[in-house]
Structure 1
Amino acid sequence: MTTGLSLNFASDNVEGASPGVMEALLRANAGPAPAYGTDAWTKRVEARFAELFEHEVAVFPVATGTAANALALAAAVSPWGSCLCHVESHVADDECGAPEFFSHGAKLIGLAGTGCKLDAAEVERVLDRLPDHVKQMPAQAVSLSQATECGLVYGQDEIAAIGALCRSRGLALHMDGARFANALVRLGASPAEMTWKAGIDILSFGATKNGCLAAEAVIVFSPRLAESLAYRRKRGGHTFSKSRFLAAQLEGYLDADAWLAHARHANAMAARLSGGLARLPGARLAWPTESNAVFAILPRAIDRAIAAAGALYHPWSPRFLPEGIRVGEDETLVRFVTSFATRPEAVDLLLATAASEKW
């Protein structure tokens, strides 16, 4: 295309770092600094997270979401234990076995749920059915994704219901917050309300998808779960000697609430896109657009037209569609993801191409 607009809606990972993050990295690059997390940037970020979450926290910056999830679950689940999660969750389906590897063999038990959401009642039913025998791996944790792999957002009451169940059963509750900011601004909640106040014990705080170059953090609200993480991170090869560059990214990300502004923009672009797609003849949304991911069931003619125009996006699994919604033979279910850098003009061009009579 000759417009200069990017029609890359494949993921929010495709964009570079935000200006604030890059500026923070440049500042951190000026001169020497102590290594292995003893630098001023790391100390400031730790204090900032404690302030943000209104709670004493242990903070472990890492470079990838896979590392954050794998280390968090390894801290919560013993090698002979198991963790309940959605069967299509990122920890179960997209980490190449890293949670099991880092926990030295713990088991992930995949549950069903519309839109990749866990339901407290279903989690309880599964827990009640698990054998209580030394030959079986006991449940020790539950992991939920916020937002889910289908773009849905857990409400505070939904998290709290799962949190209460976990407390009653002595289980840890982990949140994969790869798109934490997008879910947070959707709910209009505080970070505390969406995490420890609702029963979250350990959080994978995502930032790479929302403006960082390569930075995530394991945020631990339970002192018991934090005890081993410094050693696990080092042993797993995720302790940076020049750790100030991870902390500097997070500092630039959080500065002046840029992370929330980025998420609001990404969500707004997704709402713009989903609203336009839903108005196209023969098109409809698979799930409500609650974050920065849009899932649409499109006539194959529209799919071919926008792909031919250079748009990048992904086909998606119809396995956990809402009851009564099906993908027809002449239709396809696809996912579009917007980001902090998505331009309104790009969204409008995609919609105009989809609405063109030429296809």
Structure 2
Amino acid sequence: MLFRSDNVTAVCPEVIAAILAVNEGDAAPYGADAVTARLDEAFGRYFETPVHVHPVATGIAANALSLAAAMPPPGAAICHAGAHVNTSESGAPEFFSGGGKLITLDGAHGKLDPAAIERLLAALPPDRLQSAPPTVVTITQGTEAGTVYPLDRIAAIAAICRARGLVLHMDGARFENARARLGCTPAALSWRAGVDILSYGATKNGAMCADAVVIFRDSPHAERLNRFMGQRRLRAGQVFSKMRYLSAQLLAMVEDGVAARNAAHANAMAARLSAGLAALPGVRLVHPTEINEVFVLMPEDVRARLAAGGFPVRARPEDPDLVRFVTAWNTRAQDVEAFLAATGGAAAAAA
């Protein structure tokens, strides 16, 4: 499991403590409890603007419900071809939106190009009965390639959305890793750049099973998005009887600096791993390492030698030599160094 994913880790101690702290007595069900009631205010302070917060158990639920809210029939969403919503969610956005369409674009290192979005929109006849009209653009921050969108690129995409009345959604499964890389505030990375609705990821960053849909109330789309979210979240099985346990995890992440510390550590471990791997013969970085994901081309004989030495490495399905390594909040520096030493030996033997 070494460096396989940030989904395989234990829960960070601050989140465990927060869960235990609310595990006393009875509380109102289905989000009517006092802990959940704090979410809007706490996230509002974190993002420096009024928000609506809807806790969910998974990032896929956050994405699917966000996009369903943003593309009611017959709407469509523009996304990167490699976006998680397109490749790894089993059609959840399409299902929950009642048949919404994903329109994909390529882009270097996992990022959409504003000019490509403009060209696509200009080429789509606005009143053509046979076409699903785009109603939302969704971007992933940090991306599925382990890179980040600069703030000015997000703002450029947001400007296109505002000019055409589209919603801008951000898949923030690794929002905090991107923020650590850019050195900016949560506000700067979201609504100040023009984001209307955010899938905020906590699970990959040390929570147990808690993500959230965050709707920025100053968005021109906020009322409609929020009105949609309540009943659809219930229909999707995402309104939990004991919601306080999800809400406590989210509060722990944003109130005590846990999210920022965890993400910064994961990024630092990835940077060391990336630098070490890039220096080895036969191993080549595919994308810049900007968050906690490292993508390299690693020959099969190197991977086989690593597996024989107790370090199993899985190739990605899109390329037999492409490998992704992911660090996390609890990655130990000594494990990174041990893996680099083993990989160095395997690469030298295979050279």
TM-score, length-normalised on structure 2?
Answer: 0.94
**Contact 1:204–1:218 (CA<8 Å) still a contact in 2?**
yes
Q: Partner letter of residue 143 of structure 2?
A: T
- Does residue 208 of the first structure (1) align with residue 197 of the second (2)? no
| Correspondence 1:217 to 2:212 | yes
Matched, 1:190 2:179: no
Is 1:267 the counterpart of 2:267? The answer is yes
Deviations 1:146-187 (A, max 9, x none): 011110100100100000010011100000000000000100
**Residue 276 (structure 1) shift:** 0.4
Paired residues of 1:314 and 1:336 also in contact (CA < 8 A): no
How many angstroms apart in 1 are the aligned matches of 2:182 and 2:317?
Answer: 26
In the alignment, what sits opposite 1:102? 96
Partner of 1:226: 226
Contact 2:42/2:255 (8 A) holds in 1: no
Percent of aligned pairs with the same amino acid: 50
**RMSD over aligned Cα atoms:** 1.4
Q: Distance in 2 between matches of 1:290 and 1:38?
A: 39
- Aligned in 2, Cα 1:65/1:305: closer, same or farther, shift over 3 Å? same
Cα deviations across residues 94-150 of structure 1 (Å, max 9, x unaligned)?
111110110000101111111121010001111111233122110100000001111
Unpaired segments of 5 or more residues in structure 1? 1-6, 320-330
Q: Which residue of 1 aligns with 2:297?
A: 297
Deviates more, 1:297-306 or 1:64-73: 297-306
In structure 1, C-alpha distance between the alignment counterparts of 2:312 and 2:35, rounded to whole Å? 37
Report matched runs for 1:307-346 at 5 Å. 307-316=307-316, 332-346=321-335
1:4 counterpart residue number: none
CA distance in structure 2 between the aligned counterparts of 1:214 and 1:162, rounded to whole angstroms: 31
Cα deviations across residues 180-233 of structure 1 (Å, max 9, x unaligned)? 000001001111111111110000000000000000000001233111101110
How many Å apart are 1:339 and its aligned residue?
Answer: 0.3
Q: Secondary structure at the match of 1:84?
A: strand
Q: Secondary structure at the match of 1:315?
A: coil
Give the secondary-structure state (helix, strand or coil) at the position aligned to 1:193: helix
| Alignment size in residue pairs | 342
**Structure 2 match to 1:165:** 160
Kept after mapping to 2: 8 A contact 1:88/1:149: yes
Contact 1:10 1:312 (8 Å CA) reproduced: no
Does residue 13 (structure 1) correspond to residue 7 (structure 2)? The answer is yes
User: What is the CA-CA distance between 1:267 and the residue it aligns to?
Assistant: 0.2
Indicate how the Cα distance of structure 1 residues 65 and 313 shifts in structure 2: closer, same or farther if over 3 A, else same: farther
Counterparts of residues 26-37 of structure 1 (less than 5 Å): 26-37=20-31
Q: How many angstroms apart in 1 are the aligned matches of 2:6 and 2:24?
A: 29
* Per-residue deviation, 1:312: 4.3
Q: Which residue of 2 aligns with 1:250?
A: 250
Cα displacement string for residues 51-81 of structure 1 (whole angstroms, at most 9, x for unaligned residues): 0111111100000111000000011101201
Contact 1:9 1:312 in 2 (8 A): no
Q: Distance in 1 between matches of 2:209 and 2:74?
A: 32
SS at match of 2:32: coil
Match of 1:41 in 2: 35
SS for the counterpart of 1:261 is helix
Cα distance in 2 between the residues matched to 1:313 and 1:156:
34
Please give the alpha-carbon distance, in whole angstroms, between the structure 1 residues aligned to 2:326 and 2:109. Answer: 16
Q: Report the Cα distance in structure 2 between the residues aligned to 1:65 and 1:159, rounded to whole angstroms.
A: 21
Q: Deviations over 1:26-72 (max 9, x none)?
A: 11111111111121211222211000111111100000111000000
Whether the aligned pair in 2 keeps the contact of 1:283 and 1:297 (CA below 8 Å) is yes
Gaps of 5+ in 2: 217-221
In 2: Cα distance, 1:303 partner to 1:237 partner: 41
Report the 3-state secondary structure (helix = DSSP H, G, I; strand = E; otherwise coil) of the residue aligned with 2:189.
Answer: coil
Q: Is residue 4–residue 326 contact of structure 2 (8 Å, CA) maintained in 1?
A: yes
The match for 2:219 is none
Residue-by-residue CA offset, 1:234-262 (whole Å, 9 max, x unaligned): 11111001100110111222232011000
Q: C-alpha distance in 2, partners of 1:82/1:350? A: 44
**Shift of the alpha carbon at 1:358?**
4.8
Alignment-derived partner of residue 325 in structure 1: none
Letter in 1 for 2:138: S
Give the match for residue 337 of structure 2. Answer: 348
Larger displacement relative to structure 2 (304-313 or 159-168): 304-313
In structure 2, what is the equivalent of residue 327 of structure 1? Answer: none
Match of 1:116 in 2: 110
Deviation of 1:303 after TM superposition, in Å, equals 1.9
Conserved? CA contact 2:151–2:193, under 8 Å: yes
Q: Distance in 2 between matches of 1:209 and 1:314?
A: 20
Tell me how far apart the structure 2 counterparts of residues 165 and 62 of structure 1 sit (CA, whole Å): 29
User: Equivalent residue for 2:70?
Assistant: 76
Question: Does the CA contact (< 8 Å) of 2:51 and 2:214 recur in 1?
Answer: yes
Letter in 1 for 2:237: G
Task: Provide, for residues 284-330 of structure 1, a one-character-per-residue CA deviation record: whole Å limited to 9, x for no partner.
Answer: 211110000001122333222223233344423668xxxxxxxxxxx
Q: Which of 13, 21, 46 is 1:52 aligned to?
A: 46
